[in-house]
Structures are given as C-alpha cells and as structure tokens.
Chain A
Amino acid sequence: MQRRVLVVAAFVLAIGGGVARAANDVVIGALYPMTGPNAQVGNDARAAMETAVEIINGNHNLPMLLGKGGGLDKLGGAKVRLIFADHQGDPQKARAEAERLITQEHVVALIGSYQSATAATISQVADRYELPYMSADNSSPSLNQRGLKWFFRTSPHDIMFTQAMFDFFRDIGAKTGRKVKSVALFHEDTIFGTDSSNAQKQMAEAAGIKVAADIRYRGNSPSLSAEVQQIKAADADVIMPSSYTSDAILLMRGMHDVGYAPKAVMAQSAGFAEQAFIDAVGPLAEGVMSRSAFALDSAKARPAIPAVNALYRARNNKDLNDNTGREIAALIVLADAINRAGSMDEDKIRAALIATDIPGDQTIMPWKGIKFDSTGQNIAATPVIQQIKGGAYHTIYPFDVASEDAVWNVGK
C-alpha cells in the first residue's frame, strides 16, 4: 500500500515536472502608474490584467478568445505570467522600467501604459530591442504615426472617438429624418480640450454641419455663466463639451439656471463619464450622450461580458469600465498572437500580430473586431455612443450592439 502511494507520488511528480519544463511561462511586462496621482488607474489596470491572465490560464469555458481550456495550447499549455512595473507617469522612468523588464526579466512583450507620454518612450525602447509593445489604453493619435515597427494598439484613438460621434449624427439623422444642422463646441483650454475641439471642427466642416459657437474656457473655472449665455444665444442642435468633472457640473447647472434646455449634449467622455458628475447633477444629466470604447451593457452582442465582469468584480469590487475593459482586451489579443505564433520568438510574434483578424464577438469589446493597419493601429476599433437614462449610461450606437434606443430630440 505504502509502496503504491510512493509510486503514484513519483508518477505525479514526474508528470508535473515534465509539464513544467515543457511549458515555460510566457512572461509579459506591464507598465502602469502604480504610485502618484494616477495610482488608482494603475491598480485597476493591475486587477484587470490579472483577470485576463486568470481567463487565459484557467479553464472558465467563456464564449471568447482564449476563454476555453487552460494556458496557450500551441505552446504546450504554457501559462501567461505578468510582471508589473511602476512608471509614475514619467517618460524617463517608463523608459528605464521598460529596459529593466526586457533585459532583466526577459519579457517577450510589453503592455501598458495609460499616459500617452509614457507610451512614447516605452514603444521606442520596444522598437530598439525589437519586441512588441501593445498599447492597451493610450489615446494620443500621434503614437502610431512615428514609423515604429513594434507598436500595436487595440484601442481607438482620440480622432476615432470623435469620428464615432459624427458617424452617429449621420446615421441617426438618416434613421429619424431629423439631421444635425449645427453644433456648439465647448472645451477647456489644455491639450485634451483643444485637440478634441480641433478634430470636431474639422469633422463638422467635412459633414456640412455649422459650428454655431466655439467656446474655449479656462479649466476648473469658478463660474461659467458668461459661457453658458453664449451657448444659449447660439442655440445649436447639439452641444459638444470637452470638459473635466467640475466644469461639466457647472455647465449643466448653469444651463438649467438660465432656463435653457439643450436639445442634445454629446460629450467627449472625461468629466461626463464620472459617477461624480451623474450624482451631482442628477436629473439634469438625463439624455446626455458620451463616447466610450467599452460597453458593459452590450452582453447580448458580447456574451462573455457578464462572466468576465464577475471575475473582475471578485478581484476589485467594481464593474469594468472604459479603461479596464480595454486592458483585458489588449492582453488577450497579445496572448492570442503569442499562441498563434506558437513560439516566443519576437519576429514570429510580430508576424502573428500583423496577421491578427479577430471578429468583435470573440472579445468583450463592442468593436467590429481587431485588425491592425501598417502603423499598428486597430482599424476595426469602433467606439460606442452611450446615453444617460435613469442615472446610468446605456449604449445607443452602433445600432447592432445598442441596448437601448436613442432619445433624439434634435429637430423636434
């Protein structure tokens, strides 16, 4: 009896050891701000990426890419292992940490990084050492325009986000017969607001929509009443704000105070996406629209979302959002490319990334799919438009992933 136990134990050990040797871990370096003002974003990203690793390595039988079976099957069931590094939002530190991950931790690929400025140096290091950098959530449009061979981005960038708004105007106009004829731009004066309004101005002109007002204001103003009067005077079909939280609250309250009810508000996410905004203005937020890369409520079209969200919730006690959804998607796309490469050779992984063609319903994202152009940008990343109903955002566009019909008051 004892002997049999010993034999079984030896057998198990032999198999276990054999598997461990055959399936070397696939090590991926993740760079995020884990300390400093954006530490919360970094720690949420960590929980999201660990959720993605759990999905890849464990057997959860989810209806999505790498959702079934454990590990990477073409690498003998190899497990994905993440090593996190803290860049504190500093490009120099991001560069140093990327080099450390590559030369000391021997990662096969990098993923990151929230702030676009840190992605600028991380992707440069990746390009010099010739291994892939997967941008999960950097939104600056310039990042993929630098001729880097090893840069890949699954997420839409800021111009694609703005494009989605004007695509929505066109399609809702065709559907209801009530077209957008004029917009009022309202933006804060740093890079975010300026770039956003510049893109909106160009796209409005291209679509033949009149810019009735273009109002630039100082961010975090104590009062926006003069600006609100301008908006009221312009009385455009759609007000398009690019504002952070406190200004978003001031705008909505200010319009209410002067007795102006806008027909439609289409926000560039930011402050309007914050729960604090919805809590502060309550019923005034009803009907406000914004863009997002992720739609938690698109479970009908993306059946894996509830289970993935539950796994994430177990780790971090909150629902997936715009950032964390994108982070999970990016890591799974990267792991899938490594799996398809069937090797940890960087050139083979790059070839597999270039050949990526994943339909949207294999992911948790509401996108058409994942397909990289020659600059490494995912051109099938179609953002969604969401609208506040009953104090929460619901997806209204594209129509095939929508969970609610749009409330469209323009032209009424």
Chain B
Amino acid sequence: MGTSITRRRRQELIIGVGLLAVLALLPLPIHDVYTRNLIIITVLFAGLAQAWNVLGGYCGQISLSHALYFGVGAYVSTLLLTRAGIPPTIGMFAGGALAGLMALLVGWPCFRLSGHYYAIATVVVGEIGFLLALNWDWIGGATGINIPYRRAIGDSWLWLQFRIDKLPYHYAALAFAAAAWLVAWKIEGSRWGFVWRAVKDDPVAARSLAVRIFPSKMAAAAISGALTGIGGAIYAQYVGYIDPDSVLYGQLSILIPLPAVLGGVGTLWGPLVGAAVLIPLSELTRSYLGGSGRGVDLMIYGALIVLVALARPQGLASLVGVRVRAPAGADDAATA
C-alpha cells in the first residue's frame, strides 16, 4: 500500500511539473495584454485558493478572514518599499511572515470555537482589520498607498516593477502558485497532513488518538496565512495601488476560498481547476456584458456557481477526471 501511495504522489508531482511548464509557456504566443492579465489573475487566485485550502481544506477550518492576511502581506511589503526603500522581493517575505503571525494571533482566540462559530469569529476579525486600516493615517487610511513606477530604476526583477511588460508578473504569480501547490503536495504526504485531516474529520476521535488539536490548527493557520500574505504582496506590486477597499475588504475573504470550494475542497487540484473556470468567467462576462450596465454578467456568474454546487458538490476537479482522494483510497485498498 505504501508503494502505491508513493507512486501516486510521484505521478502527481510529475503532472504538477508538466503543468508548470505548460503554464510557463502559455502566455508566450499571446500578445494582447488583456488576456495576459487574465492569466496572471487566474494563476494568482489559484495560488491564493491553494493557500486557503491548507487551512480550510486539509485542516477543515473554514476561515473567512483571509482578506486580512492578504492585506497584511500587501501593506507590509508596500510600506517597506515606499517608506524604507526595501525591494518588494524581500518585502514580500516579511509580509508573508507577518501575515503568518497575524494568522496565529487570530487563531489563538478563535480556534477555541469550533465549526460555524469559528467561521463567524473570523469574519469579525477580518472586519476589524479593515476598519483599523481605514482609520490609520500612517498607512494611508482610506486614501490608500500608491506604488509609483520609478523611471530611474526602470524594469527590474529586484524591484518587481515593469512598465508595460506583463510576462515577469506572470512568472512571479506562477512561482507563487507553484510554491503554494508544492506546500499542499508536501502536506498531503506528511504526518502533518494526516493529523490535520483527522482533526477535520472528527476532532474528538483525533484527540483520543493523542492528536494535539490546537497546535495542529495553529500550524495550518500560520502556513496558510503566510502564503496568502506573499500573494498579497505580489498583487500589490502588480496593481500598483492598494487601499483597504481593494486588499482588505470582506468580499475578498469569499473570493479567495471560492475557487477551492468550486474546484474541490481539500484536494490538490481543486483550487487550480476552480480558478481556471471562475476567474476567466467573471472577467470575460464583465468585459463583454458588463458595459451594458444591466448586471447580466453577475447573473450568469451566480447561476454557474449554483449549478456547479448542485451538480458537483464534491467539486469541479472530480468532473475533469482528476483523481480526488476518495477513489484513490479505494484503489489503494484494492491493490493492497
């Protein structure tokens, strides 16, 4: 049985690397910036959803405060850049570290609650973060922070600034999404992964098997928060402007898990599949139907989410033939 799991995991890794290569080459024949932008946002959200999946999927803690970690990452790296002149390639890791710390701070009181109560508590915490940033003048308040294009430096990887070229941002987002995927892959096969899934499935049974529940949740939260923070830093650098409404608002805490939920919670491929469907759909419907001002785009978008939820509650990833855990487990049993 052990060898079967190892073989499956090796297969997944090979598919992952292959997919990475395809995604790296994907924007090369595409020259219009609009489509490139679409691909970048999709890849970024695939990474963010995967980051959420670490806590929400594998550990089963439905967090609705990921906008906070996203915002902390975006603000820390941006403030380090605009106030201290530290390049965002360094600042994003500081932002990630602080976002991870923030996730621990949120987890400390909130993990004492379980189920829906935990989810509700995180909504409140996210809202507090939003209001604090809105009224904190030193970090720009509601006016936000502008990240100017420094002509003296020009296009630079160190400073992660490119005037018109989109390709570098694509690789930055792709590196982030790949890292998030790799973390999830690593977790799936590790002792932590098994422990977290036990916590998710039945905390009482897990405790009876000497699983320490609280530290498990805290570890998942820290990893998830830190990854989300790095994503926020890349987003800030890409968009060039942040304010509480764009990086800390409550809706973002829904948008981040949405691809994972649609694609398949707690699966390796769910967030990626979900993002690949959701993000292009929302962007394209807005661009080509939104200008009419009748909200048709939002209706179509909403209807699709409802349809998927009805037809495939286990997620889209199961639809495209990607192996989700349940059948894989059955296979293992058969070969054992």
Instruction: List residues of chain B with CB within 8 A of the CB of A147.
Output: 148
User: If A39-B295, A124-B149, A147-B148 touch, does A117 touch B287 (CB 8 Å cutoff)?
Assistant: no
User: Complex Cα distance A390/B115, Å?
Assistant: 58
The bracket for how many chain A residues form the interface is: 35 or more
User: Complex Cα distance A34/B297, Å?
Assistant: 11
Main secondary structure of the interface of B (DSSP, over half): helix
Name which of B33, B135, B164, B290 has the most chain A CB atoms within 10 A of its CB.
B290
Tell me the number of A-to-B contacts counted with CB atoms below 8 Å: 103
| B287 and A100 contacting across the interface, CB-CB below 8 Å | yes
| A34 and B293 contacting across the interface, CB-CB below 8 Å | yes
| A189 and B241 contacting across the interface, CB-CB below 8 Å | no
User: If A43-B293, A92-B246 touch, does A142 touch B143 (CB 8 Å cutoff)?
Assistant: yes
| A275 in the interface (beta carbon within 8 A) | no
| A93 in the interface (beta carbon within 8 A) | yes
User: If A34-B292, A46-B293, A124-B149 touch, does A97 touch B143 (CB 8 Å cutoff)?
Assistant: no
User: Complex Cα distance A88/B289, Å?
Assistant: 13
| A95 and B239 contacting across the interface, CB-CB below 8 Å | yes
Given known contacts A39-B295, A84-B291, what 12 new A-B pairs fall within 8 Å (CB)? A86-B291, A96-B38, A100-B33, A100-B34, A100-B37, A100-B287, A117-B243, A120-B146, A120-B241, A121-B239, A121-B240, A140-B143
- Which B residues, 160 to 177, have Cβ-Cβ distances below 8 Å to chain A? 163-164
- Which A residues, 151 to 210, have Cβ-Cβ distances below 8 Å to chain B? 189-191, 194
Main secondary structure of the interface of A (DSSP, over half): helix
User: Complex Cα distance A317/B37, Å?
Assistant: 38
| A99 and B33 contacting across the interface, CB-CB below 8 Å | yes
Instruction: List residues of chain A with CB within 8 A of the CB of B297.
Output: 35, 86
| B134 in the interface (beta carbon within 8 A) | yes
User: Complex Cα distance A124/B298, Å?
Assistant: 27
| A124 and B241 contacting across the interface, CB-CB below 8 Å | yes
| A34 and B148 contacting across the interface, CB-CB below 8 Å | no
B interface residues (Cβ-Cβ under 8 A, vs A)? 32-34, 37-38, 41, 134-135, 141-144, 146, 148-149, 163-164, 235, 239-243, 245-246, 283, 286-287, 290-295, 297-298
Closest chain-A Cβ to B62's Cβ sits at a distance in Å of 25
Instruction: List residues of chain B with CB within 8 A of the CB of A86.
Output: 286-287, 290-291, 293, 297
**Chain A residue with the shortest CB-CB distance to B162:** A128
**Chain B residue with the shortest CB-CB distance to A103:** B33
| A127 in the interface (beta carbon within 8 A) | yes
Instruction: List residues of chain B with CB within 8 A of the CB of A146.
Output: 146, 148
| B146 and A34 contacting across the interface, CB-CB below 8 Å | no
Name which of A35, A100, A129, A189 has the most chain B CB atoms within 10 A of its CB.
A35
User: Complex Cα distance A120/B245, Å?
Assistant: 13
| B164 and A189 contacting across the interface, CB-CB below 8 Å | no
User: Complex Cα distance A6/B144, Å?
Assistant: 65
| A85 in the interface (beta carbon within 8 A) | yes
| A42 in the interface (beta carbon within 8 A) | yes
Instruction: List residues of chain A with CB within 8 A of the CB of B290.
Output: 34-35, 85-86, 88
What are 15 sample pairs from A and B whose C-beta atoms fall under 8 A apart? A34-B290, A35-B286, A39-B295, A84-B291, A88-B290, A91-B239, A91-B245, A93-B286, A95-B241, A96-B38, A100-B34, A117-B144, A117-B243, A117-B245, A129-B164
| A117 and B241 contacting across the interface, CB-CB below 8 Å | yes
User: Complex Cα distance A120/B149, Å?
Assistant: 13
User: Complex Cα distance A142/B144, Å?
Assistant: 10
Instruction: List residues of chain A with CB within 8 A of the CB of B239.
Output: 91-92, 95, 121
| A90 in the interface (beta carbon within 8 A) | yes
Closest chain-B Cβ to A139's Cβ sits at a distance in Å of 12
User: Complex Cα distance A99/B243, Å?
Assistant: 20
Interface membership of chain A positions 128-148, coded 1 if the CB is closer than 8 angstroms to chain B and 0 otherwise:
110000000000101000110
**Chain B residue with the shortest CB-CB distance to A105:** B34
